[in-house]
Chain A
Amino acid sequence: MKKTKLLLLFFLLFLFIIPIYVNADMGAPEISTYTARVINKNGAESVLDLYEPKDSILIPYDTLVEITFEENEYGMTNYNGKSYYTKLSDLRAVSEETEPVGEGVESKNYYAWEEGAYLYKGPSKAYDKVDGNIQIKPGTTVNVRNYIKNAWGYVEYNGVKGWVYIYQCYKNAPYKEVSHLVDISEGNTKIYTLKDITLENSPTKQEKTNIVVPAFTEVQYKYEYMYNPHKKYICIEYEGKEGWHEIEDVDNLSIAYNCKNENISLIAVKDVTIYEKFNEENNNVIGTIPAKEECDVLYASIYYYGDESWCYVHYNDISGWVNTKGEDYLISERYNYGLISDKYSEYTTDSDTIIYDNVNGIETNVVISKDTVLSEKYTYTDSDNLSSWHYVFNDKYSGWIKNDFYKASSENTSNENTLIENTNEIIDDNLVEEKENNMQKLFSIQNILIICILVALIIAIISIFLIKKINSKENK
């Protein structure tokens, strides 16, 4: 009995400890701990809570402490059984300097502004600064390797190696920033000003500079910085000068993203004018895309900024801007601003169908017979949502067909017609197909679940019956 109890106790402990250990470990942060000595003769100021600094103590001079975590100017240490935040300036790391091992986790470019960033011998302000008090000059970009969680990076600057506190590269960076990484964009966007804008000196200070970028100017986009999830700033270069501006200032900036690898094409419903610059008021016309012709889209806005939308296209050796806001001109997916993804699906005619020369265009005398299988490349929905248009083709036919109801291909074998809802949305054929697939999936999930519950009930009933049988036999 004693043995059983002991065994039981052991097992319960085992069962509790292992999952707790596993669970606790799952969230453990990656920390480079180090030993530091208190160098302040009055003691190292330490608080229990950084944001409610009551219950502060002074860790005595010359005490060795283990720093497990750093936050702002404080390091977390355990002293007398409690965790304290201790001022790093009152400490000095015991080891001389540390060099990173291996290739490093990430290699990123960081931008140091006004005050620059000092190089330290180790990844903490508890280490000494490198000899000569080397400071990265404001406005310099450095490449950081061995980026560790305490926000320190190992850099080489003017031939000197050392650690730099990444947050110091962003003066007054807010505490809860989502990302402090500054990426350098290379040709991934085209940015145009819509109005005269004055640039700021930094994303965190946001003081106005004397750099004014006139309206309808293309600017170079160098860096970006996420101030918080709702505010992102970009570093703009204009006439050799740099300044910052909020990226989502849609009244003043227009941004078109590189779509070259996205295989996006634009088809003209009617003749489309190509402009040299994106704002037609000040533009020269440099070309035309004839109706039904297709061209590559090189840059396009991917955000819904209202009616103003342009994309940069390439058609027959001409590269320029087209205005995609007009539905009369282009088949437009509002979601994607006049751009059509180059995907197509199967389309089967459910009756004899007339081909039109264009969306809302003229009927031709070509009729596609019922149950003809075609490839569908583009789709368009009238703003009244009572009809949809589909550009279809096969070896024999090509052109536009009108459909009051959308019907998918062989997956949907029912004869029901589907109305396109959402009056202000033009529906991509892939979206509708996805919706239908999701509905089918949900329906089948429901079936499977109900069947499983029923089977489980049957198994339970059979098991009850078997238990009764076995135990009644035993009793006999």
Chain B
Amino acid sequence: MINLPIWMIICLICTILIEIVIAYILRVKDKKDFVNIILANCITNPLLVAISTYINVYYGLFARRISMIILEILAIIIEGYIYKKNLNFKKIKPYILSFILNFSSYFLGILINHIIY
């Protein structure tokens, strides 16, 4: 548990990297858009990890799983809103873009977890 802050940093970095790569593949080109994506993840990701860990410790794994779904949905909505207001990239609708990026980082995270553990 002492490693939680380090773990949060690792999660944030991995999420940002995955989302940047996916965004690049989706033809996001503007540097400002990448910065917005990074900052949007800085808003949602650390809170998501910290809150889900808190729920896991005090309410168990099942509660954590439920909360993850809710928190991910909230993250998609928040990031979608940020993209809508600030992104120059218009090829994909902002909420759909947010959904794709979050979904891919979530599932790739599971995959990486499986591989490592």
Hey, which chain B residues are within 8 Å of A457, CB to CB? 47
Hey, which chain A residues are within 8 Å of B85, CB to CB? 471
Hey, which chain A residues are within 8 Å of B91, CB to CB? 1, 4
Cross-chain contact A445 with B57 (CB below 8 angstroms)? yes
The answer to whether the Cβ of B14 comes within 8 Å of any Cβ in the partner chain is no
Cross-chain contact B104 with A445 (CB below 8 angstroms)? no
Hey, which chain A residues are within 8 Å of B57, CB to CB? 445, 449
Q: Which of B44, B50, B53, B111 contacts A22 (CB 8 A)?
A: B111
1/0 per residue, CB under 8 A from B, across A21-42: the answer is 0100010000000000000000
Cross-chain contact B1 with A448 (CB below 8 angstroms)? yes
The answer to whether the Cβ of B42 comes within 8 Å of any Cβ in the partner chain is yes
Whole-angstrom distance between the alpha carbons of A30 and B110 in the complex?
24
Also in contact, A15 and B108, with CB within 8 A (given A448-B4, A460-B42): yes
The answer to whether the Cβ of A466 comes within 8 Å of any Cβ in the partner chain is yes
The answer to whether the Cβ of B68 comes within 8 Å of any Cβ in the partner chain is no
The answer to whether the Cβ of A474 comes within 8 Å of any Cβ in the partner chain is yes
Main secondary structure of the interface of B (DSSP, over half): helix
The answer to whether the Cβ of A101 comes within 8 Å of any Cβ in the partner chain is no
How far does the Cβ of B105 sit from chain A's closest Cβ, in whole Å?
10
Also in contact, A4 and B50, with CB within 8 A (given A448-B2, A470-B35): no
The answer to whether the Cβ of A386 comes within 8 Å of any Cβ in the partner chain is no
Q: Which of A7, A15, A449 contacts B25 (CB 8 A)?
A: A7
Q: Which of A19, A441, A459 contacts B42 (CB 8 A)?
A: A459
Cross-chain contact A18 with B26 (CB below 8 angstroms)? no
The chain A residue with its CB closest to the CB of B100 is: A8
Cross-chain contact A453 with B43 (CB below 8 angstroms)? no
1/0 per residue, CB under 8 A from B, across A434-470: the answer is 0000000100110011011101110110111011001
Cross-chain contact B107 with A455 (CB below 8 angstroms)? no
The answer to whether the Cβ of A11 comes within 8 Å of any Cβ in the partner chain is yes
Hey, which chain A residues are within 8 Å of B2, CB to CB? 444, 448
Whole-angstrom distance between the alpha carbons of A452 and B92 in the complex?
34
The answer to whether the Cβ of B32 comes within 8 Å of any Cβ in the partner chain is yes
User: Interface size on A (CB < 8 Å)?
Assistant: 33
Also in contact, A459 and B46, with CB within 8 A (given A8-B26, A471-B36): yes
Hey, which chain A residues are within 8 Å of B36, CB to CB? 467, 470-471
Cross-chain contact B46 with A455 (CB below 8 angstroms)? yes
Also in contact, A452 and B4, with CB within 8 A (given A1-B91, A15-B103, A467-B36): yes
Interface residues on B, range: 35 or more
Whole-angstrom distance between the alpha carbons of A122 and B106 in the complex?
46
Q: Which of A4, A441, A462 contacts B26 (CB 8 A)?
A: A4
Interface residues of B in 11-38 (CB under 8 A from A): 22, 25-27, 32, 35-36
Whole-angstrom distance between the alpha carbons of A459 and B43 in the complex?
7
Hey, which chain B residues are within 8 Å of A444, CB to CB? 1-2
Interface centre among B1, B82, B92, B103 (most CB of A within 10 A): B1
Cross-chain contact B111 with A19 (CB below 8 angstroms)? yes
Hey, which chain B residues are within 8 Å of A12, CB to CB? 100, 103
Cross-chain contact B47 with A456 (CB below 8 angstroms)? yes
Cross-chain contact B110 with A19 (CB below 8 angstroms)? yes
The answer to whether the Cβ of B5 comes within 8 Å of any Cβ in the partner chain is yes
Cross-chain contact A449 with B100 (CB below 8 angstroms)? no
Whole-angstrom distance between the alpha carbons of A445 and B1 in the complex?
6
Whole-angstrom distance between the alpha carbons of A453 and B5 in the complex?
10
Hey, which chain B residues are within 8 Å of A449, CB to CB? 1, 4, 50, 53-54, 57
Interface residues of B in 44-59 (CB under 8 A from A): 44, 46-47, 49-51, 53-54, 57
Cross-chain contact A453 with B40 (CB below 8 angstroms)? no
The chain B residue with its CB closest to the CB of A447 is: B1
How far does the Cβ of A454 sit from chain B's closest Cβ, in whole Å?
9
Whole-angstrom distance between the alpha carbons of A18 and B111 in the complex?
8
Cross-chain contact B26 with A453 (CB below 8 angstroms)? no
Hey, which chain A residues are within 8 Å of B4, CB to CB? 448-449, 452
Whole-angstrom distance between the alpha carbons of A26 and B110 in the complex?
13
Cross-chain contact B5 with A455 (CB below 8 angstroms)? yes
How far does the Cβ of A233 sit from chain B's closest Cβ, in whole Å?
36
Whole-angstrom distance between the alpha carbons of A8 and B57 in the complex?
37
How far does the Cβ of B117 sit from chain A's closest Cβ, in whole Å?
11
Cross-chain contact A470 with B114 (CB below 8 angstroms)? no
User: 10 extra interchain contacts, Cβ-Cβ under 8 A, other than A463-B42, A466-B39?
Assistant: A18-B111, A22-B114, A441-B1, A448-B4, A452-B8, A455-B5, A456-B49, A459-B46, A471-B36, A474-B32
* Chain B contacts to A: CB under 8 angstroms: 1-2, 4-5, 8, 22, 25-27, 32, 35-36, 39-40, 42-44, 46-47, 49-51, 53-54, 57, 82, 85-86, 91-92, 100, 103-104, 107-108, 110-111, 114
* Chain A contacts to B: CB under 8 angstroms: 1, 4, 7-8, 11-12, 15-16, 18-19, 22, 26, 441, 444-445, 448-449, 451-453, 455-457, 459-460, 462-464, 466-467, 470-471, 474
Q: Ordered nearest first, which 4 A-B pairs have the shortest CB separation?
A: A456-B46, A463-B42, A452-B50, A456-B47
8 contacts between A and B (CB under 8 A): A4-B26, A11-B104, A12-B103, A445-B1, A452-B5, A466-B39, A471-B85, A471-B86
